[in-house]
Amino acid sequence: MATADHSLSQANSTFVPDASRMRIGVVVSEWNRTITENLLGGACDTLRKHGVSPENMPVFRVPGSFELTFGAQQIAKYGDVDAVIVLGCVIRGETSHFDYVCKGVTEGVTRLNASQDIPVIFGVLTTENIQQAADRAGGKYGNKGEESAITAIKMIDFICKLKK
């Protein structure tokens, strides 16, 4: 998790396992595209940096953040991947829609983590305004996409160690 004094975006690559044998799917929301494309870029760049080849990081797009849970479930079921990264951005508006979408996607990803045999990584920004989102999608607080990629690699490594 990124905070003012800690960001996985600044993680030392010596602490990230080799990911060259990993296949990691990414599902990204088309809503708030400027932000989500920055998250996607950060995730893909980080996966490549740690050895994941482009053909082993399939990317799928869904219309909005609420659809991310279904997208992640389908990738876990049919995508032949070791983990799924879920990327989206929900920005508070004038109605309670923000609360419902945030709760739905958060609970959905949590359910997937409990029901799937692979990790589903939560990389969804839930912010008050566009500036907060930009600050977390490559801005002053790093890039949640990068953090999500590192988390996926570490969780796959965690599973591999358990299975040995």
pLDDT, position 152: 98
Beta carbons of 17 and 154 less than 8 angstroms apart:
yes
Does some domain include residue 16?
Answer: no
pLDDT at site 12: 54
Mean pLDDT value across residues 11-17: 71
Nearest alpha-carbon partner for 101 in 90, 110, 111, 93:
90
Whether 103 is in a domain gets the answer yes
Catalytic residue at 50? no
Count up the domains in the chain and report the number.
1
Query: By the 8 A CB rule, do 59 and 116 touch?
Result: no
pLDDT in tens, 59-79: 999 999 999 999 999 999 999
pLDDT number for residue 5 = 56
Residue 145 lies inside a defined structural domain of this protein: yes
Question: Which positions ≥6 away from 124 have C-beta within 8 Å?
Answer: 29, 65, 68, 86, 87, 88, 89, 90, 102, 105, 106, 109
Domain range for residue 64?
23-163
CATH number, domain of 102, equals: 3.40.50.960
Inter-CA distances, 123 with 28, 94, 105, 117, 160, Å: 9, 24, 11, 19, 22
The phi, psi pair for 137, rounded to 5°, reads -120, 50
pLDDT of residue 31: 95
Given the residues 6, 97, 111, 140, select the one marked as catalytic.
Answer: 97
Report yes or no on 7 lying in a domain: no
Per-residue pLDDT band at 14 (split at 50, 70, 90): low
- In this prediction, residue 39 carries a pLDDT of 98
Single-letter residue type at 120: V
Tell whether the model's pLDDT for residue 1 goes beyond 50. Answer: no
- Across 78-88, b (16+ Cβ under 10 Å) vs e yields ebebbbbbbbb
Is the residue at 159 inside a domain?
yes
Q: Is residue 27 in a domain?
A: yes
In a domain, 77, yes or no: yes
Among all chains, which residue has been given the structure tokens 């500036």?
131
- Tell me whether residue 59 is in a domain: yes
Chain segment 86-104, per-residue pLDDT in tens: 999 999 977 888 888 889 9
Q: How confident is the model at residue 51 (pLDDT cuts 50, 70, 90)?
A: very high
| H or E, element range at 26 | strand 24-29
59-62 sheet: strands from edge to edge: 59-62, 24-29, 83-91, 120-127
pTM of the model: 0.92
